[in-house]
Amino acid sequence: MKPTRLTAPLLTVALTLLMGLGVAQADVVVFAAASTTNAVTEIGELYAAQKHGRMVPSFASSSTLAKQIGNGAPADVYLSANTKWMNYIDTKGLVTRGSRFDLLKNRIVLITQSQSALPDMDVRPGFTPSSALGKGGRLAMGDHDHVPAGMYGKKALETLSSWDDVKNHLAPMKDVRAALVLVERGEAPLGLVYATDAAISRKVRVMGTFPETCHPPIVYPVAAVKGGNNAEAQRFLDFLRTPEARAVFEKYGFGVR
C-alpha cells in the first residue's frame, strides 16, 4: 500500500532517526589473534564507552581467521599474531590499501603450573625441556604448522638445538590460549606460550624466557579488510593508536610499536 500524505512524512522521519541511530551505534567486526583476547576486549569496551560504536570481536588463531576471511567471512579489521597470515590475505587482495601497519610485539616463554615443584629452566643452546616432562608428559604449544606462537616456538627450539629433544613429546593445540589452558589444568606439565598469555593467568608461572634472537621478531600487523565497513574500520584502527589503547596493550604485557 502506498503511504498516504499523512504517513509519508512520518516514514521519512522514522527512517532518518533509524539511520542516525545506526551511525551512532555502528558495529565494527574485528577478527583478532587469540593472544589479544583480553586486551582487545577491554579496548572494545573503551571504544564503545567513548561513543565511537560497538566492536564485535572474533578470536581464534591467526591462521583460522585468515582462512575465514579468505573464504568470505565478514570482517572489517584483522589483527594477526604474525606477518605470514596478514600476507596471506594481502596477496589475495583482501587488505584495504594503505591501512596496514605493525601494531604490537611479544615474547615467547616456557610455563608450568603455579604450584609445580619444577625448577626454572635456563633457556639457552642445548637445553632439554623433555627432562622436565616426566613419564608421558607433553609440552603444550600452538600447532607449529599453523599457529603463530607454535611457529615461533618451533623456530626458537630449533635455533637452540632443542627441537629434537622435544618434538616427539608435543601437545599441539588449535591456538595459544588452548595451550595455556592445558597447563592451567595440569594436563601438560609444560607449555610454550606468549609472555602476555602467561601474564593473565594466576594458574601458571614463567619458568624460562626465550631469547628474542632465537626466532624472527614477533610482530602483530593490523589492517582493514577490503569489502568490509571501511569507515568504521578506519575509525577503529585510528583508535588502536591512541594513548588510551596503548595503555591497555601495555597493561597486558604487549610492546606497542
Q: Read off the pLDDT of residues 203-246 as tens digits, 9 standing for 90 and up.
A: 999 999 999 999 999 999 999 999 988 899 999 999 999 999 99
Domains of the chain (ranges, CATH numbers): 27-104+219-256 (3.40.190.10), 108-214 (3.40.190.10)
Report the alpha-carbon distance of residue 182 to residue 190 in Å, rounded.
Answer: 9
Q: Read off the pLDDT of residues 24-76 as tens digits, 9 standing for 90 and up.
A: 347 999 999 999 999 999 999 999 999 999 999 999 999 999 999 999 999 99
List Cβ neighbours of 249 (8 Å cut-off, separation of 6 or more).
39, 43, 104, 256
Report the alpha-carbon distance of residue 61 to residue 31 in Å, rounded.
Answer: 10
Grid cell in block for residue 123: 633457556
Of 178, 230, 202, nearest to 37 by C-alpha is 178
pTM for the structure as a whole: 0.83
Strands 139-142 and 170-173: parallel
Grid cell in block for residue 148: 603463530
List Cβ neighbours of 66 (8 Å cut-off, separation of 6 or more).
78, 80, 85, 86, 88, 89
Confidence of residue 93 (pLDDT cuts 50, 70, 90): very high
Distances (CA, A) of 18 to 9, 25, 52, 121, 208: 14, 10, 17, 60, 55
